[in-house]
């Protein structure tokens, strides 16, 4: 019995020694293992990189990829501090692009999907290419409202046929393109009429009306007599009538006075040079028109009529007579008005 007990104690002691002196395996370390899950590089600071084997390391002299340009980065992905910084970046880039190939600059602008950014880019190009000789802001705003951003800003280049046509081809279509080509033609028509009218050859029939309207209205402001002479020679009756209407929207048939409303009455402003009013010697700046009559018809009181109504009454067909009651600007109080008769004629401008 004693021998069995001693044998059991010896086995237990040997097992205890094995447990105490057994070496720990590598996998039993308590440190957490490195996670290999996917983490966004934009959301956390990157960990210190492990040293890669020399066979995988890039040569120290290799350059970094070129930074994308403002035109290549969508507005929503730009890490600019604010919109002002973004627009400043665009101005600087397109200032540089304006000195290079014009077509490439226009194509870069076309890639901008944000309207404000595209307007900034295009206005920068127009400013550079015209050397700052831009039209008045109200003219530019009206053109943009009538024909859209691209065509409206393209009007700035109407006096540069090569750049203007490239702009039209790259950025515009439809009525806007027709109107822009018409304005370019205005700059050409006095020196090269065939080339000017040739700009309309690429347009669809329904776009030719916009082209001729733009051409003849712009031409009328520069040289009304020449525009009228050419319009009257147009064979197609519809086109001819449209051209004459466009001319008279700028150079109407009337007496040649600028009018403004004052205390409910139309008041004479500037006189059109060589117009019927100036040639008559009967009108002066500041004269007040009290009543208007067509030919031998009864007078219509002009007080509190709208300016548009007065203008429509003053205009008419060539050779017709307009009767006016006019109070001279220097007339004493309670003076009676003068009766003035003047024959309407086509107003003509020459610049």
> pLDDT 10s per residue in the chain (351 long)?
444 444 444 444 444 334 444 444 444 444 444 444 333 333 333 334 434 333 323 334 444 555 555 555 555 555 546 889 999 999 999 999 999 999 999 999 999 999 999 999 999 999 999 999 999 999 999 999 999 999 999 999 999 999 999 999 999 999 999 999 999 999 999 899 999 999 999 899 889 989 999 999 999 999 999 999 999 998 889 889 999 999 999 999 999 999 999 999 999 999 999 999 999 999 999 999 999 999 999 999 999 999 999 999 999 999 999 999 999 999 998 999 999 999 999 999 998
Phi, psi of 28 (to 5 degrees): -95, 5
Per-residue model confidence as pLDDT tens digits over 301-350:
999 999 999 999 999 999 999 999 999 999 998 999 999 999 999 999 99
This prediction's pTM: 0.67
- The residue among 293, 313, 292 whose CA lies nearest residue 302 is 292
Distance CA 189, CA 230 (A): 11
Q: Would you kindly state where each structural domain of the chain is located, as residue ranges?
A: 70-250, 253-346
Q: Which long-range contacts (CB under 8 A, 24 or more apart) does 333-341 make?
A: 337/290, 337/291, 338/282, 340/280, 340/282, 340/283
CA dihedral 67, 73, 77, 81 (to 10 degrees): 70
- Homologous superfamily in CATH for domain 253-346: PDZ domain (2.30.42.10)
Rounded Cα distance between 42 and 63, Å, is 22
> Which pLDDT tens digit goes with each residue over 233-265?
988 898 899 999 999 999 999 999 999 999 999
Number of other residues whose CB lies within 10 A of the CB of residue 180? 32
- Residue 288 to residues 282, 317, 337, 341: CA-CA distances in angstroms? 12, 24, 9, 15
Residue with tokens 């209407």: 245
Reported as type and span, the H/E element at residue 326 is: strand 321-327
Q: What is the pLDDT of residues 52-72, one digit of tens each?
A: 333 323 334 444 555 555 555
- The DSSP H or E segment spanning 267 is strand 265-271
């Amino acid at each position: 019995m004693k021998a069995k007990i001693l044998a059991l104690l010896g086995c237990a002691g040997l097992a205890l020694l094995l447990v105490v002196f057994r070496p720990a395996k590598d996998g039993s370390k308590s440190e957490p293992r490195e996670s290999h899950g996917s983490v966004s590089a934009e959301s956390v600071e990157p960990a210190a990189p492990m040293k890669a084997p020399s066979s995988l390391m890039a040569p120290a002299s290799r350059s970094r990829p070129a930074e994308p340009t403002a035109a290549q980065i969508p507005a929503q992905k730009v890490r600019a501090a604010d919109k002002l910084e973004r627009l400043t970046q665009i101005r600087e880039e397109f200032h540089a692009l304006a000195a290079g190939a014009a077509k490439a600059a226009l194509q870069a602008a076309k890639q901008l999907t944000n309207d404000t950014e595209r307007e900034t880019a295009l206005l920068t190009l127009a400013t550079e290419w015209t050397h700052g000789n831009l039209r008045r802001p109200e003219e530019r705003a009206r053109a943009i409202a009538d024909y859209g951003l691209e065509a409206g800003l393209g009007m700035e280049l109407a006096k540069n046929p090569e750049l203007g046509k490239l702009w039209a081809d790259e950025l515009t279509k439809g009525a806007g393109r027709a109107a822009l080509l018409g304005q370019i033609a205005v700059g050409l028509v006095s020196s090269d009429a065939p080339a000017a009218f040739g700009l309309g050859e690429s347009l669809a029939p329904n776009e030719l009306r916009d082209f001729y309207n733009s051409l003849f209205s712009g031409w009328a402001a520069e040289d009304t007599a020449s525009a009228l002479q050419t319009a009257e020679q147009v064979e197609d009756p519809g086109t001819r009538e449209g051209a004459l209407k466009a001319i008279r929207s700028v150079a109407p048939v009337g007496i040649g006075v600028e009018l403004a409303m004052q205390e409910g009455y139309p008041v004479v402003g500037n006189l059109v040079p060589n117009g019927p009013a100036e040639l008559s010697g009967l009108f002066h700046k500041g004269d007040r028109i009290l009543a208007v009559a067509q030919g031998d018809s009864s007078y219509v009181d002009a007080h509190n009529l709208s300016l548009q109504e007065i203008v429509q009454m003053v205009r008419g067909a060539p050779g017709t007579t307009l009767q006016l009651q006019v109070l001279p600007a220097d007339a004493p109080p309670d003076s009676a008005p003068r009766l003035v008769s003047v024959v309407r004629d086509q107003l003509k401008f020459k610049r």
